[in-house]
Chain A
Amino acid sequence: MTLQDLEPYYAKAEDKMGTTRTNGIPGLPGNNNFKVMYAGAKRLGYKGVHTGRMSINSQPRHGRDACWQMGFCFQGCKSGAKWSTLYTEIPAAEATGNLDLRSQAQVLQVQAGADGKVAGVLYADKDGNQQVQKARAVCVAGNSIETPRLLLNSANAQHPDGLANSSGQVGKNYMRHMTGSVYATFDRPVNMYRGTTMAGIVTDESINDPSRGFVGGYEMETLALGLPFMAAFLDPGAWGRGFAAAMDMYDHMAGMWLVGEDMPQETNAITLHGSEKDQFGLPVPNVHFDDHANDIAMRNHAFKQGSAIYEAAGALTTIETPPYPSTHNLGTCRMSEKASDGVCNGFGQTHDIGNLFISDGSQFTTGGAENPTLTIVTLAIRQADYMAEQMSKGAI
């Protein structure tokens, strides 16, 4: 699969999502936190510094308002400026009359028939009653933890190691991006929490330049946490006068997130827990992740460069904050050319079962340096076209 294959679908995704700096949509206005990043990055000589390509409306578009600069982008956007399938694609699909949406349900098992194809799903409905839904094709989109868990929990006599797992790759090569944060304090107020949380980026370090001591690259993106999260995550577990003094500088702080390509490792994996079960009696997922030496070297470089940006902007102090507990979940059902190397092909169609598809970030073979939603959406649109073609040919 090449970039050329994906380009038309990236274009469709950017148009659907209303990504700024594409389709003639202007960039978002920078907030205070961006102004600090911009000043420091420019003084250091960085070139790619702007308010990013955000799927957040900078002007009214497709019936949704422009950004109000509320500062709660991570919690879901109350003004609807930030793209979300909840109020874009799903209502549009319902309006066609062809979507039967069953919310608050959980699929317990993908059921395989004697013909080697999947026949449907067993699910618990919103009242907890178990139901079977027959299907011509099944697309699994639970992302990198729940998708492999479902495939593993769907093991049967024909597929004793789980569905689509003849390669043994289901659950393997779990990725979560190299991450970290740098916060800095200044002698004048910043009020970083005001405005679009992540509309600010320095792209210069996203290249592959092994002379830096690691392969792959990373982005630096503006980030702010509200006071309670800041207290919990600035320096987890820290207490005493030094910590309190840093917190006292909250409104004089600027912050950035570091996000880069982490190394896929087979030992980073989602497996079924040996004893813990959910309310339906299914094993819960066990998540294992260790940094690769390359991740550690990249984070070290990113901490130094992020701190240098803030020092160039006049920082009094800089604080290196370790990765937050939640992040981008990627990998675990990777694409591969050969069926023995991965779970699905370039269209997300599983190698083992022609009418079973992976439609989420677990298809990723590597994480890249970028925030992944655009690529996940791009792959999903391309997969939908492929499925329509296969169904019209009668192949599915």
Chain B
Amino acid sequence: MKKTTGMNRRQFLHTGGLAAAGVAAVASGTVLVAPDGAWALQLQTLDEHTAKTLLGMSRQIYPHDTLADMYYAGVVEALDGAAQSDKDLATMLREGVSALDQAMGVKWLDLSEGNQLATLTAIQDGAFFQKVRGTIVVALYNNPLVWRHFGYEGPSYEYGGYINRGFNDLAWLDEPSEDASPKAS
């Protein structure tokens, strides 16, 4: 039922530091690679485990099942980037993940979905969760490539607006009267 993402890997590479595996020019730091090799993210600050857990957290906080991991990797990239210039944030992310791992005595990534949710719910009012949620709500939903998944077309000025591109193409309800809604002049 849901639309496909309508995006290929080349387009995605333009979103930031994410790179296709195999072509990344790795200078330093840790590289997070998708299990299927579809994308790779070079981490500036965070360690691989923290990054992977944050990616898993992002999927649980805003779970769109048909949205590929690479979009959530963009969220991790935003957190990693913010942590690079903010030592307190880097510490908060590392310690927050560590606390999640200790919450039930099993690494958070290895918890069942129900247990993952329960541990997140338990910390949802805390600073760590709020910081992660507040960052990813912007990083995830403000990505123009993610808009396609939701059917949001974004800026329209360069296409002359929607005047000739469906601003009134809804056809499953009765048309308003001419008086209520005059024709476009």
* Residues of A bordering B, CB below 8 Å: 26-32, 34-36, 38-39, 42, 49-51, 58-59, 66-72, 78-79, 188-191, 193-195, 226-228, 230-232, 237, 239-241, 243-244, 247-248, 250-251, 313
CA distance A35 to B182 in the complex (A): 12
Could you list some 25 contacts between A and B, CB below 8 A? Answer: A27-B181, A28-B182, A29-B182, A29-B183, A30-B176, A32-B167, A35-B168, A35-B176, A50-B179, A50-B180, A51-B181, A59-B185, A68-B160, A69-B162, A69-B163, A191-B169, A191-B170, A194-B167, A195-B162, A228-B141, A244-B62, A244-B63, A247-B150, A250-B150, A250-B152
Residue contact B165 to A72, C-beta cutoff 8 Å: no
CA distance A189 to B150 in the complex (A): 11
Q: What are the residues of chain B within 8 A of A58 when measuring CB–CB?
A: 182, 184-185
Q: What are the residues of chain A within 8 A of B185 when measuring CB–CB?
A: 26, 58-59, 66
Tell me, yes or no, whether B36 is within 8 Å of chain A by CB: no
Residue contact A226 to B173, C-beta cutoff 8 Å: no
* Residues of B bordering A, CB below 8 Å: 2, 60-64, 117, 124, 133, 137-138, 140-142, 146-147, 150-157, 160-163, 165-170, 172-176, 179-185
CA distance A358 to B153 in the complex (A): 42
Whether A26 contacts B163 in the complex (CB less than 8 A), given A32-B170, A248-B2, comes out as no
List the 4 shortest-distance A-B pairs measured between CB atoms, nearest first. A68-B161, A251-B151, A30-B181, A195-B167
Prevailing SS type, chain B contact patch:
loop
Q: What are the residues of chain B within 8 A of A228 when measuring CB–CB?
A: 138, 141-142
Q: What are the residues of chain A within 8 A of B151 when measuring CB–CB?
A: 189, 191, 250-251
Q: What are the residues of chain A within 8 A of B170 when measuring CB–CB?
A: 32, 35-36, 188-191
User: Which of B62, B138, B175 is within 8 Å of A239, CB to CB?
Assistant: B62
B129 to chain A: closest CB distance in Å?
9
Residue contact A247 to B64, C-beta cutoff 8 Å: yes
Residue contact B61 to A68, C-beta cutoff 8 Å: no
Residue contact B153 to A38, C-beta cutoff 8 Å: no
User: Which of A30, A36, A70, A230 is within 8 Å of B157, CB to CB?
Assistant: A70
CA distance A244 to B156 in the complex (A): 25
CA distance A67 to B169 in the complex (A): 17
User: Which of B64, B124, B154 is within 8 Å of A244, CB to CB?
Assistant: B64
A32 to chain B: closest CB distance in Å?
4
Q: What are the residues of chain B within 8 A of A34 when measuring CB–CB?
A: 176, 181
A189 to chain B: closest CB distance in Å?
7
User: Which of B157, B166, B172 is within 8 Å of A194, CB to CB?
Assistant: B166
B66 to chain A: closest CB distance in Å?
9
Residue contact A78 to B157, C-beta cutoff 8 Å: yes
Q: What are the residues of chain B within 8 A of A68 when measuring CB–CB?
A: 156-157, 160-163
Residue contact A70 to B161, C-beta cutoff 8 Å: yes
